[in-house]
Structure 1
Amino acid sequence: MTPQINTLFDESAIASRVESLAREIAASRPENLLVVAVLKGSFIFAADLVRAMHRVGLEPEMEFLHLSSYGAGTVSSENIRILRDVESDVNGRDIFLVDDILESGRTLAFAKERLLKRAAKSVQVVALLDKPERRVAPIAADYTGFACPDKFVVGYGMDMGHAWRQLPFIGYVVSDQEAGETTEGV
């Protein structure tokens, strides 16, 4: 059975916020800028963000860090695996670590610490969504797209069991209890 997905943030709201984030980042005047996208969920957000950075005069290099803490599940685990590491030299660079969602914080805390240990000048976290009620690691986003309700979200790169990444909006999976109460969905 296909789950019902309700829209939280539509394409227009996302595009507008990504442009705003790029302007905010540019105002911080980063030097020797490296954007590190945490795969897989952030790939669409990171691509849109670096294009927006270009429009505001930044010329970031881009790298990818593929970490796994979810697998095919819906809850982050404490076991973080490195599937692909950053290959560029990060020594002395201003790094913007880009992820789709800051939830438990384990993955981003792990990634930030790893980059700082490799002598990055600075590591700032850019999270499209922030879900603070699930936070267990001591980390906060330096730049946040949207506050996220405590729901399981999909779309705009985020998935449920490797599905729904292609949705052009961010939605949430409707629980069985909510299904009878809502009418909007995919």
Structure 2
Amino acid sequence: MTDTPQINVLYDEDAIAERVSSLARQLADANLHRMLVVAVLKGSFIFAADLIRAMHRIGLKPEMEFIHLSSYGAGTTSSGTVTILRDIESDVRDRDVVLVDDILESGRTLAFARDLIAGRGARSVRIAALLDKPVGRVAGIKADFIGFECPDKFVVGYGMDMAHAYRQLPFIGYVVEESKDRSATQEQGG
């Protein structure tokens, strides 16, 4: 990357920490049976880690798994076809599963994951999305637990990237558009 884009803060560290704690309490209130948290990689890794620690602090003891799905290939826009790059190892039968993802946008990836886990006999499959970005939603899916509403902007930080950069930012920011051709209008994920 030769040009460093301008990134404005959308949600700062304190707002994120407060919201993650609130989501952990909502999950506790849901009384989930044999809860299995499944982080959808890659973008959710920081959110999932913070969420599971917040659950621990309030006395929950969920197990955790990871699934790595892709609908992008080498491009920056979704192909519409989801492939499994790494599957979970746990048996989900008779368990309440919580899929944790960074952003619910098109819904293709999360719909695929939800249907896959449900088809394996999960008692229920719920979705916890850090960001809900309904603009561009093509799949009939909603998150059960939402961190923040996301404006129609390309977001980075707190695990989310732009060309593999900016995942390490401790806040959620958005890339300031320099022109109408900027990647800010491209689909991001989930």
Alignment partner of 1:129: what SS? strand
- SS of 1:53's partner is helix
Percent identical residues: 70
The answer to whether 1:121 aligns with 2:141 is no
Residues in 1 aligned to 2:4 and 2:89: alpha-carbon distance in whole angstroms: 39
Give ranges in structure 2 of 5+ residues lacking alignment: 181-190
Tell me: CA distance 1:174–1:134, structure 2 relative to 1, closer, same or farther (3 Å).
Answer: same
Give the whole-Å Cα distance in 2 for the aligned partners of 1:163 and 1:73.
Answer: 15
Three-state SS of the structure 1 residue aligned to 2:135 is: helix
The TM-score normalised by the length of structure 2 is 0.91
Q: Which residue of 1 aligns with 2:94?
A: 92
What is the total number of aligned residue pairs between the two structures?
Answer: 178
Q: Residues 147-186 of structure 1 correspond to what in structure 2 (within 5 A)?
A: 147-177=149-179
Corresponding residue for residue 36 of structure 1:
38
Deviates more, 1:43-52 or 1:79-88: 79-88
Q: Is 1:45 aligned with 2:47?
A: yes
Offset, 1:71:
4.4
The runs of 5 or more residues in structure 1 that have no matched partner are 179-186
Question: TM-score under structure 1 normalisation?
Answer: 0.93
Would you say the 8 A contact 1:72–1:160 is kept in 2?
A: no
Distance 2:12 2:126 in 1: 26
Q: Distance in 2 between matches of 1:97 and 1:124?
A: 6
Aligned partners of 1:74 and 1:160 also within 8 Å: no
* Distance in 2 of aligned mates of 1:154 and 1:106: 20
Q: Determine the C-alpha separation between the residues in 1 that align with 2:169 and 2:49.
A: 15
Report deviation, 1:75.
2.9
Provide the C-alpha distance between the structure 2 equivalents of 1:67 and 1:171, rounded to a whole number of angstroms: 24
CA–CA distance in structure 2, aligned partners of residues 155 and 71 of structure 1: 21
1:103-149, Cα deviation, whole Å (9 max, x unpaired):
00000000000000000000000000000111000000000000000
SS of the aligned residue for 1:24 comes to helix
Question: C-alpha offsets along residues 125-179 of structure 1, whole Å, 9 cap, x if unaligned?
Answer: 000000011100000000000000011110000001111100000001111049x
